[in-house]
Amino acid sequence: MTLQQEWESAFLNNYSTPSIELVRGVGSRVWDSEGNGYLDLVAGIAVSSLGHGHPAVVDAVSSQVGQIAHTSNLYANQPALALAKKLQALTGHPCKIFFCNDGATANEAAFKLARKHGQGTRLGLVSTDGAFHGRTAAALALTGQPGKRSPFEPLPGDVVFVPYGDVEALKGAITSATSAVILEPIQGEAGVHPAPAGYLAAARQACDDAGALLIMDEVQTGMGRTGNWFASLAAGVVPDVMTLAKGLGGGLPIGAVIAFGAAADLFIPGDHGSTFGGNPVSCAAALAVIDTIESQGLLDHVSLMGAHLSESIVALRHENIVGVRGVGLLQAVVLQGVTGSAVEAAARAKGFLVNAVAPDAIRLAPPLVITQVELDEFVQALPQILKEATS
């Protein structure tokens, strides 16, 4: 049997069958089971912040798993406490933390915070067209992609969807019955669409005026991906609730909910929980990620590399490239005359992993440690990749 046949015989059919099997990684490069090497410009969908096999993560995880690997939420553990305090310090604002498993469970908890805030009378939520917040029931209910929602409806409601970036539409949807608004600073799964200037601040003001919570989904944008710890705070907007995951653990599964101000007091014992949330091994990995980003100046590096990447791609002036959108090392190359899936396949054949995030775009979310030489390697190969994708 081929790898693909074995995979299909073993797993539920909720994913497309993988074309390659990755077995090893170092830095920004990975190798498959056939020995082929690739420059990883996906990083596990913005997860592997420090790339693959980073000594800081390896050492932290190895050390912690040898001490105690799991405590549950019945007992305290030092890595979880240290990570919570570190996140509090990074925000620079009074807040409290809840740890969970991933982005979906973080947004599920945020949904429940909105329910508590609404006290059973304010049940309305506002999300945006194209938004992606996860595939668990409440997170899916907030996801503005009908194709993902419709097979599982009815979902928890009452959710209203408005066009992303449209301030007037957002204001018009927020009423006295609205408990919360949830936004991504950059819509990742919709094709990497950054919020227009002033949009997040307008959302903050509209929520304040209506007494609704503002939830910022920073699962993809947080932890340095945009050249800032948190994209919303960098825009001068302090949400009531922020959700994190992906890059926080550098490859280990962890999600977090950060509740600011009065929102930090909504939950009482028994309201919510997670068996694996605050797992000491995942928390140790997250601490290593944060410490490395700080000690190696990776926020500035991400900003520099992001600007270099987008400018270099635009400078190609290629007929199949409409432009580049995104911030830092979360970018999309917008295409014409060729499909994203064809470019993804052609890039893989040339030794580059990219993600066809939309029919007309590929997403680039490489490790934060990627070098200019590595980025230039991809840019120089891009014209030939596009040629082969159109042939």
By annotation, the residues acting in catalysis are: 132, 217, 246
- Residue 159 carries which DSSP code? E
d(CA 117, CA 96): 16
How are strands ordered across the β-sheet holding 95-100? 95-100, 255-260, 241-244, 213-217, 178-183, 124-128, 159-162
CB 226 within 8 A of CB 327: yes
Sign, Cα dihedral of 231, 234, 236, 242: positive
d(CA 13, CA 28): 30
- Residue 91 carries which DSSP code? H
CB 263 within 8 A of CB 207: no
217 phi, psi to nearest 5 deg: -85, 100
CB 134 within 8 A of CB 143: yes
Which residue in 229, 231, 240, 246 sits closest to 290, CA to CA?
229
Which residue in 60, 63, 40, 37 sits closest to 369, CA to CA?
40
Give the length of the chain: 391
Please tell me whether the peptide bond between 208 and the residue prior to it is cis, using omega within 30 degrees of 0: no
| Tokens linked to 367 | 């490790």
CB 141 within 8 A of CB 173: no
Spell out where the chain has E strands.
Answer: 22-26, 29-32, 37-40, 95-100, 124-128, 159-162, 178-183, 186-187, 193-194, 213-217, 241-244, 255-260, 321-327, 330-335, 352-353, 355-358, 361-364
Residue 99, judged by CB atoms within 10 A of its CB (0-12, 13-18, 19+), counts as buried
